[in-house]
């Protein structure tokens, strides 16, 4: 097991600087993520190299709508989450006690498998990659070296230092944004300090040219108020731009009508693309209404796109279709 590089020494502890909890750990203590522990003079990454799940499928299965549409990807995950509320609900939060389930896969083999199966890229999806920094960095770096696209599904609780390590090798982010109120975040994730997530995703876009899409799980009576939905929409437009796709989906234990109503509110904003939970929903040009991406079950087709623009009216669509990232200072 590797040790954590992003640390700072305190008087009686070592501080982990991988995620925004910044846990100060004394001997034998485990961080909030439950996958990093103080051992001696170092913090050990307990889940390093472990794979909790892996499968091949369309990139759309992981919430992306404008990120290399109709691409097959290798989706993987490890163990751990920075959100306490998810540690009892997620199947990929806790490292299993059974050694047989503690499967390890070398990052070189991971990327080699993606190349052998001729998939377009690698998506970290089954747990929050923020807590698997070392394994994630190796996998992304090797995937990009092998001309594969890279993406993650994350709650975005990384530190700037952690993001700057992976940023050069990260193409796409599906940010799970749980609300725009402290009460919403505390109830849905277990954290109170959430605005650092917004700063992090802005940094990912403006410094590292990461393509970003937003997904908000709507929980009835928690984050579905008109004011909160409007505030999220206004933040996306002002900070990331009106072409960033926003998907609003119901949580597993919520009334689907709450998500439908939230989407109706969001559609009144300046955002060009607001999606619901329907996986067959097409993408239409915001200027002329032309269907540019059609979705039907497992089939996705770009039918009205020419060089990233609407084939009907020529409007820029805001799709990420190139592996080349813009260099930004």
CA distance 148 to 146: 6
Ordered alpha helix ranges (H), the chain: 107-116, 133-145, 160-166, 182-189, 195-208, 226-235, 256-266
38: which residues sit within 8 A by CB, 6+ positions away? 13, 14, 25, 26, 27, 28, 29, 30, 44
Domain ranges of the chain: 7-45, 53-279, 280-329
What pLDDT band is residue 327 in, cutting at 50, 70 and 90? low
Q: Is 53-279 a domain of CATH 3.20.20.70?
A: yes
User: pLDDT (tens digit, 9 = 90+) per residue, 35-83?
Assistant: 999 999 999 999 999 999 999 999 999 999 999 999 999 999 999 999 9
252 pLDDT band, cuts 50/70/90, is: confident
Least confident of 87-91, 279-283, 316-320: 87-91
* pLDDT score, position 162: 98
Query: What is the structure's pLDDT at 218?
Result: 98
Q: Please indicate, yes or no, whether the overall pTM of this predicted structure exceeds 0.75.
A: yes
Q: At residue 30, does pLDDT exceed 90?
A: yes
Q: State the pLDDT at residue 329.
A: 56
What pLDDT is stored for residue 88 in this prediction? Answer: 80
Tell me which of 328 and 203 has the higher pLDDT: 203
């Amino acid at each position: 097991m590797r040790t954590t590089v992003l640390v700072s020494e305190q008087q009686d502890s070592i501080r982990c600087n991988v995620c925004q909890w910044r846990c100060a750990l004394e001997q034998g203590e485990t961080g909030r993520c439950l996958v990093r522990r103080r051992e001696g003079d170092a913090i050990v990454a307990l889940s390093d190299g472990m794979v909790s799940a892996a499968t091949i499928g369309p990139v759309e299965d992981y919430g992306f709508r404008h990120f290399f549409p109709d691409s097959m990807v290798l989706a993987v995950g490890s163990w751990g989450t920075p959100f306490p509320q998810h540690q009892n609900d997620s199947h990929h939060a806790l490292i299993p006690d059974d050694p047989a389930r503690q499967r390890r896969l070398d990052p070189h083999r991971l990327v080699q498998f993606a190349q052998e199966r001729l998939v377009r890229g690698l998506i970290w999806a089954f747990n929050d990659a923020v807590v698997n920094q070392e394994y994630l960095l190796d996998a992304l770096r090797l995937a990009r070296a092998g001309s594969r696209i890279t993406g993650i599904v994350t709650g975005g609780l990384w530190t700037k230092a952690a993001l700057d390590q992976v940023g050069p090798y990260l193409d796409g982010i599906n940010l799970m944004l749980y609300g725009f109120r402290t009460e919403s975040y505390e109830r849905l994730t277990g954290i109170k300090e959430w605005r650092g997530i917004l700063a992090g995703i802005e940094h990912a876009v403006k410094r590292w040219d990461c393509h970003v899409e937003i997904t908000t799980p709507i929980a009835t009576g928690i984050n579905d108020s008109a004011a909160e939905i409007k505030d999220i929409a206004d933040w996306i437009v002002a900070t990331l731009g009106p072409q960033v796709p926003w998907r609003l989906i119901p949580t597993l234990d919520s009334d689907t009508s709450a998500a439908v109503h939230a989407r109706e509110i969001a559609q009144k904003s300046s955002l060009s693309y607001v999606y619901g939970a329907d996986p067959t929903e097409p993408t239409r040009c915001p200027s002329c209404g032309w269907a540019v991406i059609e979705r039907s079950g497992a089939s996705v087709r770009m039918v009205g796109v020419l060089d990233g623009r609407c084939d009907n009216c020529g409007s820029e669509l805001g799709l990420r279709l190139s592996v080349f990232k813009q260099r930004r200072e």
